[in-house]
Amino acid sequence: MKRIKVKKTKLIKIVGLLILLGLLLLVYFYIGYLFPSSYNRYAGLAGVGATTTLPVWSAPVLDIADYDRRLLILATGTSSQSTLATISSTTHRLWPVEAPYPKAGAILPFKRIVAYYGNLYSTKMGILGEYPEAEMLQRLRQDVAKWEQADPATPVQPALHYIVSTAQESAGADGKHRFRMPESEVKKVLAMAEKVDGIVFLDIQVGLSNLQSELPVLEKYLENPKVHLAIDPEFSMKNGDRPGEVIGTFNAQDVNYTINFLTKIVQEHNLPPKILVIHRFTGPMLTGYRQISLNSSVQIVIDMDGWGSPERKIGTYNSFVASQPVQFTGFKLFYKNDLKHSPNRLLTPKELLSLKPRPIYIQYQ
C-alpha cells in the first residue's frame, strides 16, 4: 500500500504541473490578444506565434542631428545654427569636412578617444610598455578623467594604441626591416583593454614591406568590433632607405587601399565603422590627401605626431593637419620628448580644445 501511495503522489504532482502549464499558456495567448504588437515581438524570439511583418529587433540608427552638431563643435567650438549657416555659405571652408554619414555605431564624433601608445617589448617606445599593466591602466584612467572634466559634453573612449609591427634597423630574415608581434602579445593588449572597457588600435610600421603584405596578417584581429587600425608613414620606406635614416611616406593610393581593406571587413561581418589613424608631422609624410576616398564604413583621423614645445606642436598641427583636411584630427602628447623643450610641459586639454578644429583623438606616448 505504501508504494501505491507514492505513485499516486507523483501522479498528482504531474497533473498539477500540467494544469499550471495550461493556465500559463492561456495567459500568454490572452496577452497576445490584448497587445498583439508586443506579443509578436517576443513570440518571434521563442519561435511561437511570430509574424513576418514585424522585425524582432530594430537596427541601431545614426543620430544625424547630433552627428552634425558635434562636427560643428569640433570645427568651430560652437553649435550655433547661425555659425553653421555662415560656414555652409562659405565657398572655401575647410571644416567640417563634407563626407558620407557613417554607419550606425560610429565612435566619432560622439566620443573623444584617449589612447596610450607603445609596445610591450619596449619601455622607450611609449607609456603602454613603460609601466606595469596595473599602473599603466590607472594612469590611463586618470588621463581619461582629465578629458572628461575638460569637455563634459563629449564622453571619452579609452584606448590602447599598440605597435603591432615595428620598424627595425636590422633587415631581418626577409630583408623588410620590420618585426611583427606574436599573437600572444596582441592577446595581452586585447585583455588589458577589456579592463578599462577600451578599444585597441593596431599600429603598422611597414619598413621596407608594404600595406598589401602587412594588412592581411591583421585581418583576424580587425574582425573584432573593438579593434581598429593605424598606419605610420614615418616608417614606410618606399625608396629602400633603412627606417630612421629618413622620414617615410604614404600617398592617397596607400590610404585608399587601406580604406577598402577595412571596408570589406566591416561589410562582410556587419561591423560598426572602423577608425583608421594616420600619423603625420611633415608635408611629404602624406601626399595627395585630396584624393583620399571617404565612405560610411571607415573614419579617418590624421594624428599630429610631432614632438617639441607647445608652440612648435601647435604650428605643426595647423600646417599639416588643420590646413589639409581629411575627416577628423588627432594630437599626440609625448611624456618625455615634449618635456625636453622649453617651457618643459605638456599641452593641457583646455589648450587642445581651443584648436580649430578640435582634435577628437588624443594619444599619449
Is the predicted pLDDT of residue 292 greater than 80, yes or no? yes
Q: In this predicted structure, what is the pLDDT of residue 60?
A: 78
Q: Alpha-carbon distance 73 to 151, whole Å?
A: 11
Average pLDDT, integer, range 148-170: 97
76-80, 90-94, 110-114 — which is least confidently predicted? 90-94
Instruction: Identify residue 307 by its one-letter amino acid code.
Output: W
Is the predicted pLDDT of residue 47 greater than 50, yes or no? no
- Average predicted confidence (pLDDT) for the chain: 87
Q: Which residues contact 312 (CB under 8 A, 6 or more apart)?
A: 306, 341
Is the predicted pLDDT of residue 6 greater than 90, yes or no? no
Q: In this predicted structure, what is the pLDDT of residue 341?
A: 87
- Is pTM beyond 0.85 here? no
pLDDT digits (tens, 9 = 90+) for 187-212: 999 999 999 999 999 999 999 999 99
Q: Alpha-carbon distance 251 to 286, whole Å?
A: 5
Average pLDDT, integer, range 120-148: 97
Is the predicted pLDDT of residue 230 greater than 90, yes or no? yes
What share of the chain has pLDDT > 70, as a percent? 81
CATH 3.20.20 fits 64-364, yes or no: yes
Is the predicted pLDDT of residue 161 greater than 50, yes or no? yes
Q: In this predicted structure, what is the pLDDT of residue 35?
A: 40
Average pLDDT, integer, range 149-176: 96
Is the predicted pLDDT of residue 309 greater than 60, yes or no? yes
Average pLDDT, integer, range 82-99: 74
Is the predicted pLDDT of residue 141 greater than 90, yes or no? yes
Q: In this predicted structure, what is the pLDDT of residue 8?
A: 55
Q: Alpha-carbon distance 187 to 197, whole Å?
A: 15
Burial of 328 (0-12, 13-18, 19+ CB in 10 A): buried
pLDDT band at 36 (very low <50, low <70, confident <90, very high): very low
Q: Alpha-carbon distance 113 to 162, whole Å?
A: 14
pLDDT digits (tens, 9 = 90+) for 8-30: 555 566 666 666 666 665 555 44
Is the predicted pLDDT of residue 235 greater than 50, yes or no? yes
Q: Give the residue from 214, 230, 229 showing the smallest Cα distance to 266.
A: 229
Q: In this predicted structure, what is the pLDDT of residue 85?
A: 63
Is the predicted pLDDT of residue 106 greater than 60, yes or no? yes
Instruction: Identify residue 346 by its one-letter amino acid code.
Output: L
Q: Alpha-carbon distance 65 to 86, whole Å?
A: 18
Q: In this predicted structure, what is the pLDDT of residue 84?
A: 60
SS (H, E, C) the chain: CHHHHHHHHHHHHHHHHHHHHHHHHHHHHHHHHHCHHHHHHHHHHHCCCCCCCCCCCCCCCCCHHHHHHHHHHHHHCCCCHHHHHHHHCCCCCCCCCCCCCCCCCCCCCCCEEEEEEEECCECCCCHHHHCCHHHHHHHHHHHHHHHHHHCCCCCEEEEEEEEEEEECCCCCCCCCCEEECCHHHHHHHHHHHHCCCCEEEEEECCECCCHHHHHHHHHHHHCCCCEEEEECHHHECCCCCCECCECCCEEHHHHHHHHHHHHHHHHHCCCCCEEEEEEECCCCCEECHHHCCCCCCEEEEEEECCCCCHHHHHHHHHHHHHCCCCCEEEEEECCCHHHHCCCCCCCCHHHHHCCCCCCCEEEEC
84-88, 208-212, 309-313, 351-355 — which is least confidently predicted? 84-88
Average pLDDT, integer, range 127-156: 97
Average pLDDT, integer, range 227-255: 96
Q: In this predicted structure, what is the pLDDT of residue 51?
A: 36
Is the predicted pLDDT of residue 280 greater than 90, yes or no? yes
Q: Alpha-carbon distance 243 to 320, whole Å?
A: 22
Q: Give the residue from 118, 153, 121 showing the smallest Cα distance to 136.
A: 118
pLDDT band at 93 (very low <50, low <70, confident <90, very high): confident
Is the predicted pLDDT of residue 311 greater than 90, yes or no? yes
pLDDT band at 31 (very low <50, low <70, confident <90, very high): very low
